[in-house]
Amino acid sequence: MNSSFRQRRLTAAAVTALAVALSATACSSDSGSSDTKSVGNGTYTIWDPYPQFAKSSDWAKLLDQCGAKAGVKIKRTAFDTSDLGSKALLAAQQGNSPDVLIVDNPVVSTLAEAGVLTTTDENKLDTSKVDANLLAAGQSGGKTYGTPIGANTLALYYNKAVLKKAGVDIASVKDWKSLTAALAKVKAAGKKGITFSAIGTEEGSFQFLPWFWGAGAKLTALDSSQAVSALSLWKDWLKNGYAPNSVLNNTQTTSWQEFATGDYAFSENGTWQLANAKKAGFEYGVLPIRGATGGNASAPTGGEFVTVPVQKDTGRYTTSQKLETCLTSGDNLYNTDTTLSYVAPTSEVQDKQVAANAELKPWVDAVKAAKGRTSDDLGTRYPKISEQMWKAVQSALSGSKSPTDALSEAQSAAK
């Protein structure tokens, strides 16, 4: 793929789609310059979304180690997740892309469709050990554009003391009916049911998707009967007092803060809250989100992909591939995913994680059932669909529209 072709495809539509996809990501500070023009052939540039990790961190040391193994020096720049995708597009327009780009998985298809990334066939990256459901988040048009460095997803944290007081056996929660029955018992016992984030941003869509997919709905048909049943579930929880009205404005952080009070039976949240869960002061457990009629629902995958952007000098790909392979090798994955509170993208390393920490077993199960938001070849269509989804959730939960009407309007707008 030559540079002129790449630049022709860097369109305003790609930039707009990227902006919507990143509208709800977390904020940190940029830790360095994005200029790569002065870098010589013996230095390779890596951009990542981990500004929280300083030069002395294990992550930064790993990058240097992988560089030394490949015989080159590493120039690392860390950006906010919300800035990295747009920075990558701008760098591609200027013919100044980094050699290795680590980017949030929903952004991969946008960058790929804009012509920014090489495929794994072009850069000779072996992805054979990666779980197929996780790899799908980096696929577009039948091609693969990188490999996941790790994954996180959503599950239900539960407060053991609250459930015990309400007489709820967590083993009985196998589907929506039994979960709702558990919430009713919790309310009758004087405690609060479940908290989650239904805010009008990507976070709201992210949290709604396990229920949407758990009903059997598809993102190409927001107005299906399955989709309506998922939104009706949430609406009924609010109507019956099983969930608080604050979910309309809750981020995943404020939702967690509600659960941390010790008053709630359940909280929908992610692996990134594990450290906070251990500090909460009460016994907790983790349950994969259940599908409407049983089994584990597909929750959306979070986490980043390691990718190789298009370079004018294609001879650089060989070393970039060595760096990418080093960063995603088994031992390095284990250490990195422990640092990031991620589940590894390969069964081999997942087994090692569970052997070291049995508490990760429900998270591994949840990740194995998870699904990429841009999977099913949605690519750059996902941000528009997601925006209409969170608007429909807001409309239904606030009472301004019925779930059926809200999702009908969402489907029309998404087209």
DSSP codes joined into one string, 81-133: HHHHHHHHHHHHHTT---SEEEEEHHHHHHHHHTT-B--TTTTT---TTB-HH
Given this model, what pLDDT does residue 338 score? 86
Pairwise CA distance, residues 334 & 218, whole Å = 33
Given this model, what pLDDT does residue 1 score? 33
Given this model, what pLDDT does residue 376 score? 80
> Residue 272: which residues within 8 A CB-CB, separation 6 or more?
152, 341
Q: Is 271:152 a contact under the CB 8 Å cutoff?
A: yes
Given this model, what pLDDT does residue 401 score? 98
Domain hosting residue 333, numbered range: 3-151+302-368
Is the domain of 11 the same as that of 127?
yes
Is the domain of 331 the same as that of 256?
no
Given this model, what pLDDT does residue 336 score? 87
Residue 32 placed within a domain: yes
Is the domain of 288 the same as that of 166?
yes
Is the domain of 168 the same as that of 189?
yes
295 to 173, 184, 216, 287, 366: CA distances (angstroms): 10, 21, 12, 11, 11
Residue 373 placed within a domain: no
Pairwise CA distance, residues 81 & 70, whole Å = 27
Residue 206 placed within a domain: yes
Q: Is 324:69 a contact under the CB 8 Å cutoff?
A: no
Residue 212 placed within a domain: yes
Given this model, what pLDDT does residue 83 score? 87
Pairwise CA distance, residues 366 & 303, whole Å = 14
Given this model, what pLDDT does residue 29 score? 29
411 to 10, 367, 407: CA distances (angstroms): 28, 28, 6
Residue 55 placed within a domain: yes
* 45-64 per-residue burial string, b: 16 or more CB within 10 A, e: under 16: bbbbbbbebeeeeebbebbe
The size of the chain, in residues, is 415
Is the domain of 207 the same as that of 267?
yes
Find the Cα–Cα–Cα–Cα dihedral 388, 389, 391, 395, rounded to 10°: 130
Q: Is 240:122 a contact under the CB 8 Å cutoff?
A: no
Pairwise CA distance, residues 394 & 249, whole Å = 9
Low-confidence stretches of the chain (pLDDT < 50) are 1-17, 19-39
Given this model, what pLDDT does residue 30 score? 34
Residue 322 placed within a domain: yes
Domain count across the chain:
2
Residue 29 placed within a domain: yes
Phi, psi torsion values for 74, nearest 5 degrees: -110, 130
Is the domain of 402 the same as that of 253?
yes
Please, what is the angle between helix 252-259 and helix 202-214, to 10°?
A: 70
Is the domain of 147 the same as that of 23?
yes
Is the domain of 360 the same as that of 389?
no
Is the domain of 160 the same as that of 281?
yes
The rounded Cα 255 to chain-centroid distance in angstroms is 17
Is the domain of 78 the same as that of 98?
yes
Residue 113 exposure: Cα atoms within 13 Å on the Cβ side: 24
Residue 250 placed within a domain: yes
CATH number at residue 241: 3.40.190.10
Is the domain of 267 the same as that of 402?
yes
Is the domain of 128 the same as that of 31?
yes
pTM: 0.84
